[in-house]
Amino acid sequence: MAAAPDDIALLKAALAAAERRADLAERDRDEAVASVARVKAKVSGAEALIAHLTLEIEKLRRELYGTRSERKARLLDQLEMQLEDAEAALSEDELAAEQAAVKTTTVKSFERRRDGRKPFPEHLPRERVVIPGPTACACCGSDRLRKLGEDVTETLEVIPRQWKVIQTVVGPKSFP
Protein backbone atom coordinates (compact mmCIF):
# COMPACT_ATOMS: atom_id res chain seq x y z
CA MET A 1 0.00 0.00 0.00
CA ALA A 2 1.37 3.42 -0.96
CA ALA A 3 1.97 6.02 1.72
CA ALA A 4 -0.79 8.58 2.13
CA PRO A 5 0.04 11.99 0.68
CA ASP A 6 0.66 14.82 3.13
CA ASP A 7 -0.85 17.52 0.89
CA ILE A 8 -4.33 18.50 2.13
CA ALA A 9 -5.56 19.37 -1.39
CA LEU A 10 -4.60 15.89 -2.63
CA LEU A 11 -6.34 14.30 0.35
CA LYS A 12 -9.50 16.34 -0.30
CA ALA A 13 -9.48 15.38 -3.97
CA ALA A 14 -9.04 11.69 -3.10
CA LEU A 15 -11.89 11.90 -0.58
CA ALA A 16 -14.20 13.58 -3.12
CA ALA A 17 -13.39 10.90 -5.72
CA ALA A 18 -14.09 8.13 -3.21
CA GLU A 19 -17.42 9.72 -2.25
CA ARG A 20 -18.43 9.97 -5.94
CA ARG A 21 -17.60 6.30 -6.48
CA ALA A 22 -19.63 5.32 -3.39
CA ASP A 23 -22.62 7.43 -4.54
CA LEU A 24 -22.53 5.85 -8.01
CA ALA A 25 -22.33 2.34 -6.54
CA GLU A 26 -25.28 3.03 -4.21
CA ARG A 27 -27.39 4.48 -7.03
CA ASP A 28 -26.60 1.46 -9.24
CA ARG A 29 -27.62 -0.90 -6.41
CA ASP A 30 -30.90 0.98 -5.86
CA GLU A 31 -31.68 0.87 -9.58
CA ALA A 32 -30.99 -2.89 -9.64
CA VAL A 33 -33.35 -3.45 -6.68
CA ALA A 34 -36.08 -1.45 -8.43
CA SER A 35 -35.52 -3.41 -11.64
CA VAL A 36 -35.81 -6.75 -9.79
CA ALA A 37 -38.99 -5.57 -8.08
CA ARG A 38 -40.51 -4.59 -11.44
CA VAL A 39 -39.62 -8.00 -12.90
CA LYS A 40 -41.19 -9.76 -9.91
CA ALA A 41 -44.35 -7.71 -10.35
CA LYS A 42 -44.54 -8.66 -14.04
CA VAL A 43 -43.99 -12.35 -13.26
CA SER A 44 -46.65 -12.28 -10.54
CA GLY A 45 -49.01 -10.59 -12.97
CA ALA A 46 -48.40 -13.29 -15.57
CA GLU A 47 -48.96 -16.04 -13.00
CA ALA A 48 -52.19 -14.40 -11.88
CA LEU A 49 -53.36 -14.15 -15.48
CA ILE A 50 -52.58 -17.83 -16.09
CA ALA A 51 -54.47 -18.86 -12.96
CA HIS A 52 -57.40 -16.64 -13.90
CA LEU A 53 -57.60 -18.06 -17.42
CA THR A 54 -57.34 -21.62 -16.10
CA LEU A 55 -60.22 -20.90 -13.74
CA GLU A 56 -62.29 -19.43 -16.57
CA ILE A 57 -61.65 -22.50 -18.74
CA GLU A 58 -62.65 -24.80 -15.91
CA LYS A 59 -65.85 -22.83 -15.26
CA LEU A 60 -66.78 -22.95 -18.94
CA ARG A 61 -66.17 -26.70 -19.08
CA ARG A 62 -68.29 -27.13 -16.00
CA GLU A 63 -71.13 -25.13 -17.57
CA LEU A 64 -70.81 -27.02 -20.85
CA TYR A 65 -70.57 -30.56 -19.53
CA GLY A 66 -72.07 -30.20 -16.05
CA THR A 67 -70.53 -31.48 -12.83
CA ARG A 68 -68.89 -34.86 -13.28
CA SER A 69 -67.51 -35.40 -9.84
CA GLU A 70 -66.66 -33.79 -6.54
CA ARG A 71 -63.06 -33.59 -7.66
CA LYS A 72 -63.99 -30.92 -10.20
CA ALA A 73 -65.75 -28.85 -7.54
CA ARG A 74 -62.73 -29.11 -5.22
CA LEU A 75 -60.39 -28.25 -8.08
CA LEU A 76 -62.50 -25.22 -8.90
CA ASP A 77 -62.43 -24.04 -5.28
CA GLN A 78 -58.68 -24.60 -5.14
CA LEU A 79 -58.13 -22.62 -8.34
CA GLU A 80 -60.25 -19.76 -6.99
CA MET A 81 -58.11 -19.65 -3.84
CA GLN A 82 -54.90 -19.71 -5.90
CA LEU A 83 -56.23 -16.84 -8.00
CA GLU A 84 -56.92 -14.77 -4.88
CA ASP A 85 -53.40 -15.53 -3.57
CA ALA A 86 -51.84 -14.60 -6.92
CA GLU A 87 -53.76 -11.32 -7.02
CA ALA A 88 -52.66 -10.49 -3.47
CA ALA A 89 -49.02 -11.28 -4.32
CA LEU A 90 -49.29 -9.15 -7.45
CA SER A 91 -50.49 -6.12 -5.51
CA GLU A 92 -47.72 -6.61 -2.93
CA ASP A 93 -45.08 -6.90 -5.66
CA GLU A 94 -46.41 -3.82 -7.43
CA LEU A 95 -46.29 -1.88 -4.15
CA ALA A 96 -42.70 -3.03 -3.55
CA ALA A 97 -41.75 -2.01 -7.11
CA GLU A 98 -43.28 1.43 -6.62
CA GLN A 99 -41.45 1.91 -3.32
CA ALA A 100 -38.15 0.84 -4.88
CA ALA A 101 -38.74 3.18 -7.81
CA VAL A 102 -39.41 6.07 -5.42
CA LYS A 103 -36.09 5.40 -3.68
CA THR A 104 -34.16 5.43 -6.96
CA THR A 105 -35.74 8.60 -8.31
CA THR A 106 -33.08 11.26 -8.24
CA VAL A 107 -33.66 14.95 -8.70
CA LYS A 108 -30.90 16.75 -10.50
CA SER A 109 -29.75 19.96 -8.97
CA PHE A 110 -30.37 23.16 -10.86
CA GLU A 111 -27.54 24.26 -13.06
CA ARG A 112 -27.59 27.43 -15.04
CA ARG A 113 -27.49 26.60 -18.73
CA ARG A 114 -24.43 27.83 -20.48
CA ASP A 115 -24.59 29.00 -24.06
CA GLY A 116 -23.87 25.85 -26.02
CA ARG A 117 -22.54 27.61 -29.06
CA LYS A 118 -19.07 28.96 -29.55
CA PRO A 119 -18.85 32.59 -30.59
CA PHE A 120 -18.44 33.31 -34.27
CA PRO A 121 -14.85 33.88 -35.38
CA GLU A 122 -13.57 37.42 -34.92
CA HIS A 123 -12.33 37.72 -38.51
CA LEU A 124 -15.91 37.72 -39.89
CA PRO A 125 -17.28 41.21 -40.64
CA ARG A 126 -19.98 42.36 -38.28
CA GLU A 127 -22.98 44.59 -38.85
CA ARG A 128 -24.52 46.15 -35.75
CA VAL A 129 -28.28 46.75 -35.74
CA VAL A 130 -29.49 48.61 -32.65
CA ILE A 131 -33.14 48.39 -31.61
CA PRO A 132 -33.80 51.29 -29.24
CA GLY A 133 -35.12 50.54 -25.78
CA PRO A 134 -38.02 52.32 -24.09
CA THR A 135 -37.60 55.99 -23.23
CA ALA A 136 -40.14 55.95 -20.39
CA CYS A 137 -41.20 53.40 -17.76
CA ALA A 138 -44.25 51.45 -18.92
CA CYS A 139 -45.63 51.24 -15.37
CA CYS A 140 -45.26 54.73 -13.95
CA GLY A 141 -44.38 56.83 -17.02
CA SER A 142 -41.12 58.13 -15.52
CA ASP A 143 -38.41 59.16 -18.00
CA ARG A 144 -35.59 58.70 -15.47
CA LEU A 145 -34.31 55.38 -16.86
CA ARG A 146 -30.77 54.10 -16.49
CA LYS A 147 -29.02 51.60 -18.71
CA LEU A 148 -28.41 48.29 -16.90
CA GLY A 149 -27.16 46.21 -19.79
CA GLU A 150 -28.06 44.95 -23.21
CA ASP A 151 -28.84 41.66 -24.91
CA VAL A 152 -26.77 40.92 -27.99
CA THR A 153 -27.88 38.18 -30.36
CA GLU A 154 -25.57 37.12 -33.16
CA THR A 155 -26.89 35.38 -36.24
CA LEU A 156 -24.90 34.15 -39.17
CA GLU A 157 -26.07 35.38 -42.53
CA VAL A 158 -24.86 33.73 -45.69
CA ILE A 159 -24.24 35.92 -48.68
CA PRO A 160 -22.97 34.05 -51.71
CA ARG A 161 -19.19 33.89 -51.39
CA GLN A 162 -19.35 36.19 -48.39
CA TRP A 163 -20.02 35.78 -44.66
CA LYS A 164 -20.92 38.39 -42.09
CA VAL A 165 -22.21 38.39 -38.52
CA ILE A 166 -25.20 40.56 -37.66
CA GLN A 167 -25.37 41.68 -34.04
CA THR A 168 -28.86 42.63 -32.90
CA VAL A 169 -28.89 44.72 -29.74
CA VAL A 170 -32.14 44.86 -27.82
CA GLY A 171 -32.29 48.31 -26.23
CA PRO A 172 -30.75 49.05 -22.88
CA LYS A 173 -32.28 47.39 -19.88
CA SER A 174 -33.51 50.17 -17.65
CA PHE A 175 -34.47 50.61 -14.06
CA PRO A 176 -36.49 53.63 -12.84
Q: Mind listing the pLDDT tens digit for each residue in 29-87?
A: 888 878 888 888 777 777 777 777 777 777 777 777 766 666 666 777 777 787 777 77
When mean pLDDT is compared across 10-14, 62-66, 155-159, the lowest value belongs to 62-66
**Rounded to an integer, what distance in angstroms lies between the CA atom of residue 93 and that of residue 116?**
44
**Rounded to an integer, what distance in angstroms lies between the CA atom of residue 83 and that of residue 90?**
10
Pair 56, 79: CB distance under 8 Å? no
| Torsion angle defined by CA atoms of residues 151, 119, 116 and 13, in that order, rounded to the nearest 10 degrees | -110
Confidence of residue 2 (pLDDT cuts 50, 70, 90): low
The model's pTM is: 0.29
At 49 the pLDDT is 77
- Is residue 3 pLDDT above 60, yes or no? no
